[in-house]
Structure 1
């Protein structure tokens, strides 16, 4: 058996899919996916599949839009200095660039400003606003930030600096007293779509200012929308779907240079290219230092400057990767030292880079699947942190009830940012644990995999995959569909990659389907070649030299049947120490316990069958041979319900199987020889017998021991003497002979048999496996 690492939630085929499939002329499976996304009506599904600019809502439906447009146009007409105040993530820098380009088209006098994460913190701050005002700025437009900066913005307004807030984050109870606030999530906003990214909000302002949607900025809008992980539905779907082809053209010198320097593949670009290619690199500048190079990269039209900026940003990204690895290792060490199964994780460290705490938190969530906060502390005890959540736990709502703990706090249901004093971290840890315990049942701490389709190998075709790809771009709210294939045989499996850390399999009987599992190479040795496997993954088309072939990108696998792994002869035995925590070592002969410890196994996992039984489900390793086959058969029979998979080591120090078994003719010849020369000194005659018959010394001693037990001969005064009137007995009457025969049978059955024969024997000892085998056999 091999457990899946997640809980699979398998969705049955939607009953409405058949009718929708007929109306749209698509497969029932594609129609099922549309129904799952709330598109059960033909009109809705058609709009989803053919999203275009007609889906855009009136920008003036946003509260505050009219006031904002009026004030900006007046500033432009009066040649006032306008400053775009942005944020340092991808959404923030793309919002800044789009707003600047909009003001450029209007002929405005403008500049932009992005605060430094490390010297100024998050969002608007009084020092920055005062500096901008001193330099002649009369109007500040915040983008992707500002909704939580009431104190700073209120002070600026009183000081004569007008502020327009454009933001998309959750609106706190106290809103800034700004000249205008454009945020679809504020309570009085009637806008029909609430899930815009910051750059999406800016696109609406640009639309209202220009009287036309800014199509030339769609690449920026796609970058920010996809990177910010907002739901890719409604307007966001249009931004991503129309923006990716715009991004393909690489009209921006900066993105062209970044692609070439970083080795980003494409065009064409996908949502994954943005999420794992452009996005992390544009984020890296603000995480490691100032986000200014990222804004400049998006705005520049000079190829030389673009090249220099791209080199700087790529260097930041490499530095970011190294920093993340270091902090993650230190955070893991803190957690391992606690040695507890915590409901939530709060870790903090001095000298940690506050720009990467969100990435580290995501890494810890991936490993432990717990709501997690990672805090970077400075020398004065001030902390800046990032929080990441799991399904079912609303971070923002839960922590908003305890804002007294924070200097600053804001974010979303699944992610948040915060500032906190070091002495309040224990209270935060206790508070978060209490909130989690009061919200989540125990099963919530195992991640779920939402499987939308169950397919057979034959149903996985390039035609189906291409049809499903029409639902792209995929993301939050429109996830890339996961499929499962159940109980299929493995034709071939192997490790691939330079580090042998990936898994490749071919599954199915006819026309095998290729499956690739990135970073799943460790499962190769946990899956037996003759197992039937259950797999979950994403559909993909492998294109090679003009040929197309369907494949599955594995996300999770499971084997639901009991497996037998042959590690006899010591092969691969030491590799099992890596899974020793979940492995019970069965030792029949206690003197082999020392050998098990020398192999690296912990004595806490040892079990001696003559003294104890299994009490919980576990994989088992038969380390050594039993003294009697009945010991093994009894153990299997009595413990079957707790045995998951079986590893067969069956080590033995001595062996009987390859010792030549003396025939009855051999026994007869030796008896005649002893009788002829008796009484005889064995030491004198042993070399003669060995030379004549080719027997080993052990064989001769064994045969004479049998004769002695049968009272055919006796040893007297160092000489062998033949009894004149021995009882007529079969060789089986000798305990030595019986023991030898049994040992040969044990070795022949357990140690030197074929894998298939051994598996058949072991399963025959277990009533449930035997019954299952008989049922399967009857069906043939």
Structure 2
């Protein structure tokens, strides 16, 4: 068996799919995907598939828009100095760039400002506002920030500098007394779509100011919208879909330069290009230092200057990767081995870079699947942290009830940022743990995978994949569909990649489907070639030398049948098995107690040992048969009695004294030796061994074996140190000798278990287990 990493939730085909498919002239499978996304009605599905500007809502339906437009227009006409106050993530820098380009089109006098994460922290602050005002600014427009900055904004307004807030984050109970607030999530805002990113809100303000949608800024809107992981539906789908097309044109020198220096593939670009290519690099500047180079890059109109900035940003990204790796390793050291017993994770570190705590938190969630907070502490005992959640736990709502713990706090359901005094962290750890225990049942700590389609190998075609791609760009609330291919044979599998850490398989019979599992190379040794496998992954088209083939990019696999792994004779037995089962139980079955020392010498842990004559299995486990049983019945009994708890079987079957390759004396050999003994008796056998060996070529062990058999059958005996022959022995078969029986049985055991083919060994082991129980293997709580 091989358990899946996650709980698989497989959706049944929607009953509306056939009618929808007929109306839209798409496959029933694609229609099912549309139904899953709430597009079960024909018109809704048409709008989704053919998104255009008609999905855009009137920007003036946003609360505060009229006041904001009026104030900005007056400032532009009056040549007032306007400052765009941004944030340091991709949404923040793209929002800053889009707002600046809008003011440029209006002919306004403007500047921009993005706070430094390390010296100023998140959001508007009074010191920055004071400096801005002393520089002659009379109007500040915040983008992607400001909704929670009550103190600094209120002070600015009182000092005569107007502040217009544009933001998309959750609105706190108390709002700042700004000149105007544009945020679809603020109370009583009638705007029909609440899930805009910060740059999406700025695009609405730009639309209102310019009296036309800023199409040339769609690339900026796509960068921020996709990177900020907002739902890619309705207006956001339009922004992402048409923004990616604008990005394809590479009209912006900064984007062109970043693509070239970072070796980003394309155009055409996809949501994955933004999420894993442009986005992390633009984020890196603000994570490692100032975000200013990222804003400058997006606003650059000189290609040479853009290339210089792109080099700086790419360098920040490399530094960011190294920093994340180091902090993650330190966090893991803090947690092991207790993390899996905790309801939630809170880790802290002196000198950690607060710019990457969100990435580290995400990695810890990926490993342990617990709500996680990572906090970077400075020398003064102040901490800045990031929180990431799991499905079913609303991080923002849960921690909002404990705002007294924080200096600052903000975010949404799945992620949050915070500032906190070091002495309050123990209270935070306890509070978060209690909130999680109160909210989540135990099964919530195993991640779930939503599988939208169950397909046969034959159904996976390039035509189907191209049709499904019409649902792109994929993202939150429009995920790239995961499909299941169930119970298929493996044609071949191998490890690939320079580090041999990826897995490639071909599955199906007679048709073969290629599957690639990135970073799943470790599964190669946990899947037998003769197993039927269950796969979950994303469909894609592999293009090579003008040829197109469908393939599956694996995300999870399972083998639901018991597997037998032939490890007879492996010298690296312990490391091979323990590497395969780092997180699953393993029981080392030892039939002969004298081999316990051998097991310890091989590196196995004594608490994993089981001696069949003393104990039985009580929990599901993988088993290793370390040695051979003395009797085949011992093995048969163990398998029959313990079968419900046996998962995978590893066959070591070590043996020191082998009978299989020992020459078995024939009946003619016994007859010859008996005649010889009768002729020369009484005799000292040691004196005659050289003569016998010279005549017959037998080893001394063979001679001793036959004499022992004769003695047990009372054909010969020892008298006064001499071997004599019984003149009137009872007529007995050789099998009446216990020594002969033992030799025969040992040879049979070795032939059956030690030197048989894999196929014969597997057949024998399975025959020892009752047919009706073959598939009734217990798993941990499932």
TM-score by length of 1: 0.98
Q: Displacement of 1:600 after TM fit? A: 1.5
Q: Counterparts of 1:139-150 in structure 2 under 5 Å?
A: 139-150=139-150
Report the secondary structure of 1:720's partner residue: strand
- Distance in structure 2 (CA, Å) of the matches to 1:123 and 1:342: 32
What CA deviation, in whole Å up to 9, does each residue of 1:668-723 have, x standing for no partner? 11111111222222222212222322222211111111011111112334432111
The reply on whether 1:271 has 2:274 as its aligned counterpart is no
Is the contact made by 1:570 and 1:651 (CA closer than 8 Å) also made in structure 2?
Answer: no
In the other structure, the counterpart of 1:777 is: none
CA 1:550–1:114: 2 relative to 1, 3 Å: same
What CA deviation, in whole Å up to 9, does each residue of 1:471-528 have, x standing for no partner? 0000001000000011111110111111110111100001210000000011111111
In the other structure, the counterpart of 2:111 is: 111
In the other structure, the counterpart of 1:515 is: 515
Q: Which shifted more, 247-256 or 270-279? A: 247-256
What CA deviation, in whole Å up to 9, does each residue of 1:293-332 have, x standing for no partner? 0000100011111111111111111111111111111111
Is the contact made by 2:644 and 2:773 (CA closer than 8 Å) also made in structure 1?
Answer: no
In the other structure, the counterpart of 1:694 is: 697
Q: Displacement of 1:393 after TM fit? A: 0.3
In the other structure, the counterpart of 1:677 is: 680
- Distance in structure 2 (CA, Å) of the matches to 1:648 and 1:690: 38
Among 612, 615, 625, the residue aligned to 2:615 = 612
- Distance in structure 1 (CA, Å) of the matches to 2:251 and 2:775: 64
Report the secondary structure of 1:261's partner residue: helix
Q: Counterparts of 1:199-598 in structure 2 under 5 Å?
A: 199-336=199-336, 338=338, 341-570=341-570, 572-574=572-574, 575-578=576-579, 579=581, 582-598=585-601
What CA deviation, in whole Å up to 9, does each residue of 1:631-680 have, x standing for no partner? 11000010011101111000011100110111111111111111122222
Is the contact made by 2:92 and 2:143 (CA closer than 8 Å) also made in structure 1?
Answer: yes
Is the contact made by 1:763 and 1:770 (CA closer than 8 Å) also made in structure 2?
Answer: no
Is the contact made by 2:144 and 2:168 (CA closer than 8 Å) also made in structure 1?
Answer: yes
Report the secondary structure of 2:569's partner residue: helix
Is the contact made by 2:339 and 2:368 (CA closer than 8 Å) also made in structure 1?
Answer: no
Is the contact made by 1:503 and 1:518 (CA closer than 8 Å) also made in structure 2?
Answer: yes
- Distance in structure 1 (CA, Å) of the matches to 2:649 and 2:286: 52
The reply on whether 1:650 has 2:653 as its aligned counterpart is yes
Report the secondary structure of 1:569's partner residue: coil
- Distance in structure 2 (CA, Å) of the matches to 1:577 and 1:13: 41
Is the contact made by 2:339 and 2:345 (CA closer than 8 Å) also made in structure 1?
Answer: no
Report the secondary structure of 1:680's partner residue: coil
Q: Displacement of 1:730 after TM fit? A: 0.8
In the other structure, the counterpart of 1:660 is: 663
- Distance in structure 2 (CA, Å) of the matches to 1:412 and 1:571: 53
- Distance in structure 2 (CA, Å) of the matches to 1:735 and 1:339: 57
What CA deviation, in whole Å up to 9, does each residue of 1:338-380 have, x standing for no partner? 4660000011111000000000000000000000000000001
Is the contact made by 1:711 and 1:726 (CA closer than 8 Å) also made in structure 2?
Answer: yes
Q: Counterparts of 1:722-737 in structure 2 under 5 Å?
A: 722-737=725-740
Q: Displacement of 1:770 after TM fit? A: 7.7
- Distance in structure 2 (CA, Å) of the matches to 1:588 and 1:732: 25
CA 1:770–1:210: 2 relative to 1, 3 Å: closer
- Distance in structure 2 (CA, Å) of the matches to 1:293 and 1:520: 37
The alignment yields a C-alpha RMSD, in angstroms, of 1.2
Is the contact made by 1:143 and 1:167 (CA closer than 8 Å) also made in structure 2?
Answer: yes
Q: Displacement of 1:772 after TM fit? A: 7.4
Q: Displacement of 1:571 after TM fit? A: 5.2
Q: Unmatched 5+ residue regions in structure 2?
A: 777-782
- Distance in structure 2 (CA, Å) of the matches to 1:645 and 1:571: 20
In the other structure, the counterpart of 1:753 is: 756
The reply on whether 1:52 has 2:48 as its aligned counterpart is no
Report the secondary structure of 1:46's partner residue: helix
What CA deviation, in whole Å up to 9, does each residue of 1:69-101 have, x standing for no partner? 000010000000000000000000000000000
The reply on whether 1:636 has 2:639 as its aligned counterpart is yes
Report the secondary structure of 1:393's partner residue: coil
CA 1:452–1:338: 2 relative to 1, 3 Å: closer
In the other structure, the counterpart of 1:38 is: 38
Q: Displacement of 1:189 after TM fit? A: 0.7
What CA deviation, in whole Å up to 9, does each residue of 1:368-421 have, x standing for no partner? 000000000000100000000000000000000000000000001000000000
- Distance in structure 1 (CA, Å) of the matches to 2:546 and 2:475: 28
Report the secondary structure of 2:177's partner residue: coil
Is the contact made by 1:450 and 1:482 (CA closer than 8 Å) also made in structure 2?
Answer: yes
Q: Displacement of 1:572 after TM fit? A: 5.0
- Distance in structure 1 (CA, Å) of the matches to 2:173 and 2:15: 43
- Distance in structure 1 (CA, Å) of the matches to 2:531 and 2:280: 40
CA 1:771–1:85: 2 relative to 1, 3 Å: closer
Is the contact made by 1:503 and 1:521 (CA closer than 8 Å) also made in structure 2?
Answer: yes
Report the secondary structure of 1:297's partner residue: helix
In the other structure, the counterpart of 1:102 is: 102
Q: Counterparts of 1:121-140 in structure 2 under 5 Å?
A: 121-140=121-140
- Distance in structure 1 (CA, Å) of the matches to 2:691 and 2:298: 96
- Distance in structure 1 (CA, Å) of the matches to 2:422 and 2:767: 62
- Distance in structure 1 (CA, Å) of the matches to 2:338 and 2:650: 33
| Count of paired positions | 773
In the other structure, the counterpart of 1:778 is: none
Q: Which shifted more, 427-436 or 588-597? A: 588-597
What CA deviation, in whole Å up to 9, does each residue of 1:182-221 have, x standing for no partner? 0000012100100000000000000000011000000000
Is the contact made by 1:360 and 1:374 (CA closer than 8 Å) also made in structure 2?
Answer: yes
In the other structure, the counterpart of 2:628 is: 625
- Distance in structure 2 (CA, Å) of the matches to 1:56 and 1:95: 18
- Distance in structure 1 (CA, Å) of the matches to 2:319 and 2:83: 31
- Distance in structure 2 (CA, Å) of the matches to 1:684 and 1:302: 103
Is the contact made by 2:396 and 2:412 (CA closer than 8 Å) also made in structure 1?
Answer: yes
